[in-house]
Amino acid sequence: MSAPERAAAQAGPTLRPARTEATRHKLFAASMEIIGERGPHSVTVDEIAAAAGVSKGSVYYNFGSKSEMIGQLLRFGGDILLERLGRLADRPDPRQALAAMVGEALDFLDEYPSFAQLWVSEMWHSASEWRPILSRMRGEVIDLVRAAVTRIDPSGPDEDLDTLATAIFGATLALGRDRHSFHPERSRDACVRAVMRSVAHP
Amino acid sequence: MSAPERAAAQAGPTLRPARTEATRHKLFAASMEIIGERGPHSVTVDEIAAAAGVSKGSVYYNFGSKSEMIGQLLRFGGDILLERLGRLADRPDPRQALAAMVGEALDFLDEYPSFAQLWVSEMWHSASEWRPILSRMRGEVIDLVRAAVTRIDPSGPDEDLDTLATAIFGATLALGRDRHSFHPERSRDACVRAVMRSVAHP
Amino acid sequence: MSAPERAAAQAGPTLRPARTEATRHKLFAASMEIIGERGPHSVTVDEIAAAAGVSKGSVYYNFGSKSEMIGQLLRFGGDILLERLGRLADRPDPRQALAAMVGEALDFLDEYPSFAQLWVSEMWHSASEWRPILSRMRGEVIDLVRAAVTRIDPSGPDEDLDTLATAIFGATLALGRDRHSFHPERSRDACVRAVMRSVAHP
Amino acid sequence: MSAPERAAAQAGPTLRPARTEATRHKLFAASMEIIGERGPHSVTVDEIAAAAGVSKGSVYYNFGSKSEMIGQLLRFGGDILLERLGRLADRPDPRQALAAMVGEALDFLDEYPSFAQLWVSEMWHSASEWRPILSRMRGEVIDLVRAAVTRIDPSGPDEDLDTLATAIFGATLALGRDRHSFHPERSRDACVRAVMRSVAHP
DNA sequence: CATGAATGAGCATTCATTCAT
DNA sequence: AATGAATGAATGCTCATTCAT
């Protein structure tokens, strides 16, 4: 448990000192930037601290360890994505809801490419330190997709709906990363259309 | 350049290539096993050598560096996949050809889960040492898929075909990894069906 | 660039420089002791750190590399020699000035035998990592000697003065090392006299 | 004991197989070339073998170890120098004899710069593996010089003659290396003159 | 005689973590 | 709340040496 966590545990809903919050956010921003590009193992705590403009000691004071810092970073990013997708889930037209979610996901992958890269790298990695966090995120996202898919066509066995949701999830993730790495010219719409073909026939 | 490569570059009748080949294959097999599970950075050369039953020096004698060894491992795995997919590409019925390729890919991802994990992790990683190798593989696989998709429905702009091929690629990869990590009970057929939905309606 | 150098480059009020300085000097002293005896390649960083009573990591924290540490050690020693010789250069009697410099050099070679050995070994070594440092030192020492020689007898071409200065430099170096290795009984005065014979005749 | 040495020990004055002699000389030539430039510790047996165009095993077959190979190389070079200097020692005019020896030494240092470098580096090195060889060489050369000096001016104590001989030795060595490294334009004659100044005045 | 694949002890270097200030 | 000097276990890599062919 890092020092601020200890303090919070003792003091109840402390108004967190502004200085700590600022340091944490500088570290989030800097890590997000460089960890996605170079990978969590290739980036050193020194580099993160330098990029954030704080001392190395601050990382340990605020997060306790490098691993924990990355974990909180992932939670931070995952919450943003889930919040954004959740907002679109209850649109009246189910097909439009799914399309909106795919589009929103593409936007998110575009805005947080480093988070996206980290997710793809670690989610299926059996020995990843962040597997619990990432597989929970994967589960929640796929649940949202499956719900949308089910509203479009509730027939068929549950297993098939889950499989379809996973396929949509994978296609979206791949298109998002591909736009970043290989095809920046590819339009968001074209990607949404390609993904939506799997639920396209009325 | 590793010692065997230097020797090969000079041509001439390689005197004792059998021993070298044996060592290299033992290293390939052992690496494939453990690198995918724990990630290339978390696995040490000592562990690889021990798992292969050779000395650490042999790794360096044969490959020159850990990075180069993994690179050759990736080429090795990629060649297997491409060879397998290529064999299915010219089936008469284009829809059956694509379905066969998706199925074959799933089998491959099942047989070589470590290779699959490494691929997913590093392919879109901008600073990966193996990016050149992996992105070439990605390109060749997507080309195969696009050719199959084009045979099914040649209408529409090229860009859309490329995008669709990428979506199919991503969906298959995700389903393959998901079967390994989260849903071992999910059938190969269900996965193929889910992927094929994007080209299913005549 | 080592960490303290990075810090120094940014200026600002160095907070805890005393600790760093202490560590650096402990390392200088210990290295000077053992590197000259066994040669820079035969001495390990572990040994140096152990001899200095600091951790191996400290060597890297303070100098960045073994090579850089030795480089700074050489600069450190060279500055001492040059400072000592420079103080004697402007004695009124030129012959006495040169004799004093030769004697002082012999004293220095006696006090810092490891530095002397390193200098002799690496100065004329075309591929030495420390060639730039050592050849600059050689140049400055020879310049001092030539100035003294010129004051004794300004006639003759410049080239001859340079050559004579080099001969004096070499003779002194050899006598200094020889006293350490083979003839500890040989007196300082006898050495000075032998060197001074080349400028002895009025 | 290396294999040919074993053979020689058994068979008496064997006519050494031509193949062995050829291999040894190729190795001498190649080592002399690169060891002097890069230092004995920085040069690997692989490099030496490659430069000589023989296999690494041949080095061990012929010399038993890297250290022994360099030792024989040094003996080889030292014999050449001593033979050349010895031939000049009994010239009638003692001053001319010494000048001829200094000149001959400069020629030798010019022809075998790598040997010269190795000598300078290792001769005064207390822990050098080749110290015995090199200090014997140093002794024999200084004896020759002292004999010549004694013939010029036999007065004065023995110790002074020895010291003077060492000074001449050092001056010559330094001028020889300096010509190679820093002043290739400096003439052989100018160097001889500078060295001879210490015995120049009748 | 010669080769070159294999070895493993040894080494320079990295980096997450600690702690006195 | 923050700092940065110091640490040392861990790791990639080198290279002299061996030995089966």
pLDDT of D31-46, one tens digit each? 998 998 889 999 999 9
The residue written with tokens 């066969």 in the block is B100
Residue C18 resides in a domain = yes
Is the pLDDT at D6 greater than 70? The verdict is: no
Sign of the Cα pseudo-torsion (C118, C120, C121, C122, in order): positive
The confidence score (pLDDT) of residue B157 equals 86
Residue A201 has its nearest CB partner, among B117, B127, B201, at: B201
The answer on pLDDT for C198 being more than 50 is: yes
Do B181 and B119 lie in one domain? The reply is yes
Tell me the average pLDDT across A128-150: 95
Helix (H, G, I), strand (E, B) or coil at B112: coil
Q: Which residue is nearest to nucleotide E20 (CA to C1')?
A: C16
Cβ atoms of D84 and D110 within 8 Å: the answer is: no
For every residue of D46-94, DSSP letters joined together read HHHHHHHTS-HHHHHHHHSSHHHHHHHHHHHHHHHHHHHHHHHTT-SSH
- Same domain as D193, residue D163: yes
Question: What span, in angstroms and rounded, lies between the C-alpha atoms of C33 and C36?
Answer: 7
pLDDT at A11 over 60: no
Cα–Cα distance measured from residue C57 to residue A161, given in angstroms and rounded to the nearest whole number: 56
Q: What are the distances in angstroms from CA B126 to CA A35, A50, A118, A182, B109? A: 11, 21, 12, 10, 23
* Termini Cα distance of chain D: 53
Q: Is A43:A56 a contact under the CB 8 Å cutoff? A: no
Q: Angle between the D188-196 and D94-111 helix axes, to the nearest 10 degrees? A: 130
Distance from CA of C53 to the nearest CA of D (A): 23
Q: Mean of the per-residue pLDDT values for chain B?
A: 91
Q: Which residue has the tokens 């400055």?
A: C140
Least confident of B107-121, B150-164, D9-23, D114-128: D9-23
**Residue carrying the six token digits 């100044």:** D197
Cite the DSSP H helix spans in chain B: 3-9, 17-38, 45-52, 56-63, 66-88, 94-111, 113-123, 131-152, 158-181, 188-196
- Which member of D162, D170, D193 has the closest CB to residue C170? D170
Could you say which of A41, A76, A111 is where a domain stops?
A: A76
pLDDT over 70 (residue C15): no
Residue-wise pLDDT for D129-143, tens only, equals 999 999 999 999 999
**pLDDT at residue number D1:** 56
Count of domains for chain A? 2
Same-domain check for residues C72 and C119: no
Given a cut of 80, whether residue B13 has pLDDT beyond it is no
Residue C21: which pLDDT band, with cuts at 50, 70 and 90?
confident
DSSP A199: G
The Cα–Cα gap between B48 and B74 comes to 15
Residue A18 confidence (pLDDT): 65
For the ranges B181-190, C4-13, C122-131, D134-143, the lowest mean pLDDT is seen at C4-13
Do C4 and C40 belong together in one domain? yes
Comparing C-alpha atoms, which of A169, A117, A191, A116 is closest to residue B162?
A191
Tell whether A177 is covered by a domain: yes
C-alpha A163/C-alpha B195 separation (Å) is 9
Residues 60-99 of B with CB under 7 A from strand E: 60-62
Q: Helix D94-111 to helix D131-152 angle, to the nearest 10 degrees?
A: 150
pLDDT of A76-85, one tens digit each?
999 999 999 9
CA of C121 to C1' of F17 (A): 28
A16 falls within a domain: yes
Q: Which two tokens stand for residue C119?
A: 């200098």
Q: Give residue for tokens 């400096």.
A: D186
- Do A163 and B199 make contact, defined as CB atoms within 8 angstroms? no
Band (pLDDT 50/70/90 cuts) for residue B12 is very low
In terms of pLDDT, which residue wins out, D82 or D23?
D82
Mean pLDDT of chain A: 90
pLDDT of residue D157: 86
Over residues C149-171, the mean pLDDT reads: 93
Indicate whether C113 and C185 sit together in one domain: yes
Residues whose CB is less than 8 angstroms from the CB of residue B42 and which lie 6 or more positions away in sequence, other chains included: A41, A127
Q: Exposure pattern of A73-93 as b/e (b: 16+ CB <10 Å)?
A: bbebbbeebeeebeebbebee
Do B and A share at least 3 CB pairs under 8 Å? yes
| Distance, CA of C182 to CA of C161 (rounded, Å) | 30
* Contact by Cβ (8 Å): C192, C123: no
CATH code assigned at D27: 1.10.10.60
Judgement on whether residues B29 and B122 belong to the same structural domain of the protein: no
Q: How far apart are CA C172 and CA C196, in angstroms?
A: 10
Contact by Cβ (8 Å): C198, D198: yes
Q: Which nucleotides of E are covered by protein (CB under 7 A)?
A: 1-21
Residue with tokens 């170079």: A38
Residues 36-75 of D with CB under 7 A from strand E: 54-58, 60-62
Kindly state whether residue B148 falls inside one of the protein's structural domains.
yes
Mean pLDDT, range C154-179, rounded to an integer: 94
* C91 and C180 fall within a common domain: yes
pLDDT at B154: 85
Question: In this structure, are B69 and B93 located in the same domain?
Answer: no
Residue C44 domain boundaries:
1-76
Q: How confident is the model at residue D4 (pLDDT cuts 50, 70, 90)?
A: low
Exposed, middle or buried: residue B105 (CB in 10 Å: 0-12, 13-18, 19+)? buried
A22, A105: one domain: no
Give the ranges where B153-201 is alpha helix by DSSP (H): 158-181, 188-196
In a domain, B22, yes or no: yes
Q: Which is nearest to A22 in space by CA: A57, A46, A58, A50?
A: A58
Q: Within a domain: residue C81? A: no
Label residue B3 by pLDDT band (50, 70, 90): confident
Q: What is the mean pLDDT of residues C72-84?
A: 95
User: By three-state DSSP, how is residue D200 classified?
Assistant: coil
Structure-token pair, residue B41: 């950075």
pLDDT of D8 reads: 53
Distance CA D109, CA D79 (A): 14
Q: Which residues 37 to 66 of C reach strand F, CB within 7 A?
A: 54-58, 60-62
Q: Is the pLDDT of residue D13 over 60?
A: no
Residue C71 lies in a domain: yes
Which is higher by pLDDT, A6 or B162?
Answer: B162
Cβ separation C194–D166 shorter than 8 A: yes
- The answer to whether residues A88 and A103 touch, using CB atoms and an 8 Å cutoff, is no
How far is C3 from chain D, CA to nearest CA, in Å?
28
Angstrom distance (rounded) from CA A52 to CA A44 = 12
Residue C126 is part of a domain; what is its CATH number?
Answer: 1.10.357
Which of these three, D76, D103, D131, is where a domain ends? D76
DSSP H helical segments within A13-157, as ranges?
A: 18-38, 45-52, 56-63, 66-88, 94-111, 113-123, 131-152
The stretch C87-111 carries a mean pLDDT of: 96
Of A71-75, C32-36, C160-164, D4-8, minimum mean pLDDT range: D4-8
Shared domain for A64 and A103, answered yes or no, is no
Digit-coded pLDDT (tens) for A111-122: 999 999 999 999
Residue D118 shares a structural domain with residue D171: yes
Q: pLDDT: is D49 or B20 the higher one?
A: D49
| Between D155 and C23, the higher pLDDT residue | C23
What's the confidence (pLDDT) of residue C37?
82
**Which burial class, exposed, middle or buried, applies to D61 when counting CB atoms under 10 A from its CB (0-12, 13-18, 19+)?**
middle
Q: Å from B195 to nearest chain A CA?
A: 6
Q: Are A160 and A194 in contact (CB under 8 A)?
A: no
Phi, psi of C88 (to 5 degrees): -95, -10
Helix axes D56-63, D45-52, angle to 10 degrees: 100
Residue in C68, C46, C176 with CA at minimum distance from that of residue C117 = C176
Q: How far is CA C75 from CA A43, A162, C193, in A?
A: 34, 70, 29
CA–CA separation, A184 and B120 (whole Å): 19
- In this structure, the dihedral spanned by the alpha carbons of residues D193, D198, D200 and D202, taken in order and rounded to 10 degrees, is 180
Report the distance separating Cα A194 and Cα A103, nearest Å.
11
| Six-digit token string for B123 | 């392919």
DSSP 3-state of D106: helix
Residue A49, both tokens: 């601290």
Instruction: Please give the share of chain A, as a percent, with pLDDT higher than 90.
Output: 76
Is the CB atom of residue D65 positioned under 7 angstroms from any atom of strand F? Answer: yes
Q: Is C122 exposed, middle or buried (0-12, 13-18, 19+ CB in 10 A)?
A: buried
DSSP string, D120-140: HHHHT-TT-TTHHHHHHHHHH
- The C-alpha R_g of chain D, in whole angstroms, comes to 19
Can you tell me the distance from the alpha carbon of D18 to that of A106, in angstroms, rounded to the nearest whole number? 76
Are C56 and C108 in the same domain? no
**What is the arithmetic mean of pLDDT over C45-65?**
96
Dihedral pair phi/psi, residue D178, rounded to 5°: -65, -40
Residues 29-88 of C with CB under 7 A from strand E: 43-46, 56-57, 60-61, 64-67
Q: Which residues of D121-160 are buried (b: 16+ CB within 10 A; e: fewer)?
A: bbbbbeebbbbebbbebbeebbebbbbbbbbbeeeeeeeb
Q: Residue D96 has what DSSP assignment?
A: H
Residue B59 covered by a domain? yes
Structure tokens at B197: 């939905």
Tokens of D38: 């890069």
The whole-angstrom separation of Cα A140 and Cα A120 is 15
pLDDT class of D3 with cuts at 50, 70, 90: low
Is A127 close to B39, i.e. CB distance below 8 A?
yes
**A91 CB contacts (<8 Å, ≥6 apart)?**
A97, A100
- Residue where one domain finishes, among candidates C49, C76, C103: C76
